């Protein structure tokens, strides 16, 4: 008897969960992991995204080691980094941090890197890093202050969420939109499919699934 594959999302991000559901994928378990996200000295933002996604996957794998409840599981993790050149813009917790980030982004092009890491049931490991270039229009003081008042900047890399009000700031985007939100769907689905996970199982209409 072949056991169905299970998917564990090693993330507490509601945006990543929403994106997976958009792709018709419902994780069997959510497992947020706690890793130190501090960049290493002279570490490139792309390398940082790749390393952190790997560390999150490794932390989940270690926590599940020997657990008989998950004998045939995939572990999916991701980490998103926003950067101007080699300068990483951290998640903003304070309003002055968000204000500083927005003024840095104003009128400039920045890059968003998301590292995705997949641990397969046989403990194989696959990784990808996806890059998107985003250009902000030049922001007025009123726009910055109004956005800060909205509170959408809280705990967001670079101080903004593209799927919210900040979508009105985007003058140009080259690459994956879902990557900027937090999980590049095309690459994630391709990674899962390539390793034998049935991403289309959840695409069946409820009535059709019941009939079968």
Write the pLDDT tens digit of every residue in 136-159.
999 999 999 999 999 999 999 999
pLDDT of residue 3: 58
pLDDT tens profile 94-137: 999 999 999 999 999 999 999 999 999 999 999 999 999 999 99
Cα–Cα distance for residue pair 81/50, rounded to 1 Å = 10
Backbone angles phi and psi of 29, in degrees to 5: -160, 140
pLDDT at 5: 87
Name the burial class of residue 195, with classes exposed (0-12), middle (13-18) and buried (19+) by CB atoms within 10 angstroms of its CB.
middle
Q: How many CB atoms within 10 Å of residue 51?
A: 19
pLDDT digits (tens, 9 = 90+) for 25-74: 999 999 999 899 999 999 999 999 999 999 999 999 999 887 778 878 99
pLDDT band at 205, cuts 50/70/90?
low
Would the pLDDT of 191 be above 60? Answer: yes
- The full DSSP string for 125-163 is EEEEEEEEEEEEPPPPHHHHHHHHHHTTTTT-BTT--TT
Residue 79 annotated among the catalytic residues of the structure = yes
Q: What token pair was written down for 205? A: 């209409």
Q: Which residues contact 57 (CB under 8 A, 6 or more apart)?
A: 10, 75, 76, 77, 117, 118, 119, 125
**CB-based burial of residue 206 (10 Å sphere; 0-12 exposed, 13-18 middle, 19+ buried)?**
exposed
34, 79, 123, 198: the catalytic one is 79
């Amino acid at each position: 008897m072949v056991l169905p594959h299970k998917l564990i999302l090693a993330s507490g991000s509601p945006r990543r969960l929403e994106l997976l559901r958009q792709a018709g994928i419902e994780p069997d378990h959510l497992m947020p992991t706690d890793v130190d996200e501090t960049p290493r000295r002279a570490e490139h933002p792309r390398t940082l995204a790749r390393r952190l996604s790997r560390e999150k996957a490794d932390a989940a794998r270690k926590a599940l080691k020997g657990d008989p409840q998950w004998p045939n599981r995939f572990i999916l993790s991701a980490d998103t980094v926003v950067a101007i050149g080699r300068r990483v813009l951290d998640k903003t917790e304070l309003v002055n941090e968000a204000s500083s980030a927005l003024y840095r982004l104003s009128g400039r092009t920045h890059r968003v890197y998301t590292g995705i890491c997949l641990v397969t049931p046989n403990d194989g490991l696959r990784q990808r890093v996806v890059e998107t270039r985003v250009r902000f229009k030049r922001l007025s003081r009123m726009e910055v202050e109004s956005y800060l008042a909205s509170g959408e900047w809280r705990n967001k890399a670079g101080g903004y969420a593209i799927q919210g009000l900040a979508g009105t700031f985007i003058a140009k985007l080259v690459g994956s939109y879902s990557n900027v939100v937090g999980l590049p769907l095309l690459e994630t689905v391709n990674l899962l499919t390539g390793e034998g996970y049935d991403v289309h199982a959840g695409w069946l209409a409820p009535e059709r699934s019941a009939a079968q």
